[in-house]
Amino acid sequence: MLSVAHRSGFTQNEAGVIVFLAVAMLTGGTIEAFRDDGAQAQRLPGGQDVRKVLAAQDSVFAARSSQTGSTSSTTEGAGAEAPIHEVVTGQSQNAPAASININRASEGDLLELPGIGPATAKKIVAHRKEQGPFERIEDIMLVKSIGPKKFEKLRQFIRVE
């Protein structure tokens, strides 16, 4: 490199700086080109920016992480496994806007809960009539077909009074 620098009229240090700047400019241009292509490619089918969707999911995660083990209801997210469109729009096809009192809810009200279909809603109402009102939200697991996994999906949407 010394001979190339000397022939071009630059010292070895000057030639090193010029090479460094050239490499830095080429790298920066390449990164900028990829970022521009990536911005166009990072669109969801609905036209929403993936970065905004991920930021919304991060805020839902942060809010859930800061909650204690209480059974209070939230309306921030549709669940830990919520599809991206639910996090962005804040709406779920099968999630209620507020918590539901499982001791007074009709079958129609229970159908709004995630993972509850017509058969399970009937079982909940029948269990309530036979055994009396639920004392705690965890008691809903006494209903056949509601286990721990389904209960975890329901927890934030149900209450007892």
Average pLDDT over residues 142-153: 91
Q: What is the pLDDT of residue 61?
A: 73
0.75 exceeded by pTM: no
Q: Is 62 left (phi over 0), alpha (psi -120 to 50) or beta?
A: alpha
- Condensed to tens digits (0 to 9), the pLDDT of residues 61-81 reads 777 766 544 444 444 444 444
Cα distance from N-terminal residue to C-terminal residue, the chain:
82
Q: Which amino acid is at 18?
A: I
Residue 77: predicted pLDDT: 42
Residue 143: Cβ within 10 Å count: 22
Could you read off the pLDDT of 105-135 as tens digits, one per residue?
999 999 989 889 999 999 999 999 999 999 9
Q: What is the mean pLDDT of the chain?
A: 76
Query: CB within 8 A of 70, min separation 6: which ones?
Result: none
**Which of left, alpha, beta for 43 (phi over 0: left; psi -120 to 50: alpha)?**
beta
